[in-house]
Amino acid sequence: MAKSIASEFTKGLWNEIPPFRLVLGLCPVLGVTTTMQNGVGMGLATTFVLICSNILVSALRNLIPGKVRIACFIIIIATFVTVVELAMQAYAYQLFQQLGMFIPLIVVNCIVLGRAEAFAFKNNVMLSAADGLGMGIGFTLSLGALGGVREIIGTGTFYGASLFGPSFQPFTFMVQAPGAFVCLGLMLCIMNMFGSK
Amino acid sequence: MREMIKMVVVLTLLSAFSGGLLAAVRVGTKDQIENQELKFVKGPVIMEIFKGASNDPVQDRFKIVDGDIERIFFVGIFDGKANRVILEASGAGFADTLGVMIGIDVDNDKIISAGVTTHKETPGLGAKAKTDSSWITQFSGMSVTKEIKITNDGGKINAISGATITSRAVCLTATDAGKIYSRLKPQIQEKLKDFTK
């Protein structure tokens, strides 16, 4: 079965869009999506880690012994996560303060490890890079959408800009933890409605 | 046996590579991160301590080499006289390192005001050392040459309820800062002359 770069890229955008279809890596999905900005920031950080780790794992897949592959994946992923953390601290300090603990936690994000194990370890570099990019963009879009909905309802702003004027009473439930579950559940429900044919 | 050696070699090489990469990134971003911390973490604390200064204390700073480390001092100019400095010391808090800044009047060796910069104390308890500005005002007027203690230890600072360890850590760190100041005082006075115009 020949796999094309385009199809590996696009599957991450809809058919296997990470949080909604694969339902993987929900910890940051629920934790950081209080605003759209946080969601997109987290998504971009994860995308970078996904692409880099996919490329490296795929390039080294014939060298890495099967028995210690998970340890190798973790070293590779942790390295890139720390690179992202330092870069974010240096160039986007306010975002870093907002995301805080969630950046180091990308190391244990199931999507990153999952793609390394399920895809990059078995496919060539180009396909793995396309897979990482697709999955990353899908993840970013999902987090952005979830963050956007929660931000609009929960605080009445969109990407930091006020929407409804001062008379708006924010529905703060949406920016708290239970709101994340409710919102994610509803979005999953909508996705399934479109998908189940 | 061959497989065993391969595993060890691959893991070692991978770790060495990631260590090297991280060291390079760390060195590359060090100055930038320092600037960002100055702007977003230390800046607000400095401005709070030197409220009403006629200069920009974040810009007017100098460094003194103290043993192996370079210490940064921020200068506050009041009534045309540069006689106040802020220095930072760090010590072990309840969780992770705690940074405390104290502003000192060089003329009478008394603390003008203090502030907590970086910390990872428990939100709602230890974190009050930073968020509850009334607690830290207890440090105002204390002499830097004497040891600062909480009331439980026979001192004058009322500990934050539920956060004795944090309170003690802030006192210890402030005392440390006082000791550094006393040790470097001649050099500080020398440097301050450049700022009085």
Q: Which domain holds residue A137?
A: 5-147
Note whether residue A175 is domain-resident: no
Q: Which chain B residue shows the shortest CA-CA distance from A61? A: B10
Domain spans of chain B, in order of start? 45-192
Note whether residue A109 is domain-resident: yes
- CB-neighbour burial class of residue B37 (10 A; exposed 0-12, middle 13-18, buried 19+): middle
pLDDT value, residue B89: 87
For residue A1, name the pLDDT band (cuts at 50, 70, 90). very low
Long-range contacts: B55-62, Cβ < 8 Å, 24+? B55/B82, B55/B195, B57/B86, B60/B195, B62/B191, B62/B194
Note whether residue A179 is domain-resident: no
Q: Which chain A residue shows the shortest CA-CA distance from B38? A: A93
Instruction: Say if residue A2's pLDDT is above 60.
Output: no
For residue B197, name the pLDDT band (cuts at 50, 70, 90). low
Tens of pLDDT, residues B40-85: 888 888 888 888 778 888 778 888 888 888 888 888 888 777 788 8
Alpha-carbon distance A35 to A40, whole Å?
A: 9
B85 beta partners: B75, B104
Note whether residue A156 is domain-resident: no
ipTM strictly over 0.90?
no
For residue B149, name the pLDDT band (cuts at 50, 70, 90). confident
Q: Which chain B residue shows the shortest CA-CA distance from A79? A: B18
Tens of pLDDT, residues B12-24: 999 999 999 999 9
For residue B94, name the pLDDT band (cuts at 50, 70, 90). confident
Note whether residue A176 is domain-resident: no
Note whether residue A39 is domain-resident: yes
Instruction: Say if residue A52's pLDDT is above 80.
Output: yes
Note whether residue A100 is domain-resident: yes
Distance of CA A187 to the CA centre of its chain: 16
Note whether residue A173 is domain-resident: no
Count structural domains, chain A: 1
Query: Starting from the edge strand earliest in sequence, which strands make up the sheet with B110-116, in order?
Result: B61-66, B69-78, B81-92, B97-105, B110-116
Contacts of A60 in chain B (CB under 8 A): 14
- The two structure tokens encoding residue A1: 């079965």
> Which residues of chain A have a Cβ shorter than 8 Å from any chain B Cβ?
60, 63-65, 67-68, 71-72, 75-76, 78-79, 82-83, 86-87, 89-91, 93-94, 97
Of A67, A72, A93, the CB nearest to B14: A72
More confident residue, A3 or B60: B60
Tens of pLDDT, residues A67-122: 888 999 999 999 999 999 999 988 888 888 888 778 888 888 888 888 898 889 98
Q: Where are the alpha helices (DSSP H) in B55-195?
A: 128-131, 133-136, 164-192
